[in-house]
A and B are shown apart, each in its own frame.
Chain A
Amino acid sequence: MSYLPYALAGWIFVVGLYGVVSSRNLIHLAVCLTVMQSGTYVLLLAIGYKNGAAAPIFRPSHHPAVDPVVQALTLTDIVVSVTVVALILALALAAHKESGSVNPEEIADFSG
């Protein structure tokens, strides 16, 4: 039972990857990337958890607290993921403008 949070993180990650591979719409693909990212957040936060401890905010007084480092890492990751998804969405908009489609298979302009 104690591996459930980790298993959840792994499952979200793998499902997101499946979504990226099988996607036929760039917007859907960008959202699947955010799903994969959520998997990594859950993993990080689960690793830092301590039973019976509270958030690392020591006001008014000190108490047992969970790991603050993974929370800082997750904060950084969220910003990174927002920025990358913004770029991909902008590219999807530009692709739609050029070709009328957001299907990756239809915008494949060159290959080989």
Chain B
Amino acid sequence: MIGFAIAGAGFAALVFWALVGLPDFGHYHWPYGNALNAIATPERHATNVVGITVFDYRGLDTLGEEFILFASVVGVSLLLRKDPEEHVPADEVRSDPIRALGAVAVVLLFVLGLWVVAFGYVTPGGGFQGGVALAGAFLLVYVVGGYRQYHSLLPHSPLEMAEAFGAGAFAILGFVGIVYAGAYLGNFLGLGNAGSLYSAGSVPLLNWATAIEVCAALVVLFSEFLKIYMLPAASWTPEEGPR
């Protein structure tokens, strides 16, 4: 570890030396951010500048990011594919108050997720944030209702197709942008009124495609991990047992 101690100290020294060269904290003055703040509402009728940056100005990054999530979930499915026998274990039964409260919580979280997605380009939020909230609502079903309910509510294959649909829709909307706006991921619907749901052109479509994909991807991810977790311990450790 001596080698790392010296190298680590040197590395840390370099990092801190670099940080000293940054402009003073709190004095951001570069044109890029300021320009986007200035033109986002007049040109795209969107009031959430971060959202419009993610889906329009830097929409290609979001395409890549969405497919990173897609590839990762496909990868996890590939890595955890050794299918244990489809064994739905005995769940502990949750008590009535928990189930009642849980049902309310699931519904609330689901509605919140939809809201966050829908107004993503108007107020803080967007496809990613709302999609995660929606996936959280589904995971809450597992927490309050047990594995059986989760498993019966969310079959694997349609979810994987929904995930592929969401990701593919984003890519294809980009091609539609070529037809109507002359550039990939060009904005092409009517711009509407800033501050309302009908604004920002084709960004709502991209927004919802992202939400579908993120929600489906995360639920598939949870299912893959839960599937391993729900196995009784004896069926998947080697004979000599854990070390």
Residues on A facing B (Cβ under 8 Å): 2-7, 9-10, 13-14, 17-18, 21-22, 43, 46-51, 55-60, 62, 65-73, 75-76, 79-80, 82-84, 86-87, 89-91, 93-94, 96-101, 106
Quick one: which of B49, B69, B242 has the most chain A CB within 10 A?
B49
Q: How far is the CA of A46 from the CA of B25 in the complex (A)?
A: 7
* Contact among A2, A10, A57, A73 for B16, CB-based, below 8 A: A10
The smallest beta-carbon distance between B189 and chain A, in angstroms, is 21
- Asked if B224 CB lies within 8 Å of chain A CBs, one says yes
A90/B80 contact (C-beta < 8 A), A65-B37, A75-B50, A76-B61 known? yes
A2/B26 contact (C-beta < 8 A), A58-B41, A72-B58 known? yes
The smallest beta-carbon distance between B58 and chain A, in angstroms, is 6
- Chain B residues 1-34 with CB under 8 Å of chain A are 1, 4, 8, 11-12, 15-16, 19-20, 22-28, 30, 32-34
Q: Interface majority SS on A: helix, strand, loop or mixed?
A: helix
The smallest beta-carbon distance between A75 and chain B, in angstroms, is 6
User: What bracket does the count of chain B residues touching chain A fall in?
Assistant: 35 or more
* Contact among B23, B27, B30, B124 for A57, CB-based, below 8 A: B124
Q: What 19 additional pairs, Cβ within 8 angstroms, besides A68-B50, A90-B80? A: A5-B25, A6-B25, A7-B19, A10-B19, A43-B19, A46-B25, A47-B23, A49-B26, A56-B40, A59-B47, A59-B123, A67-B32, A68-B40, A68-B53, A69-B33, A73-B61, A76-B54, A83-B72, A96-B237
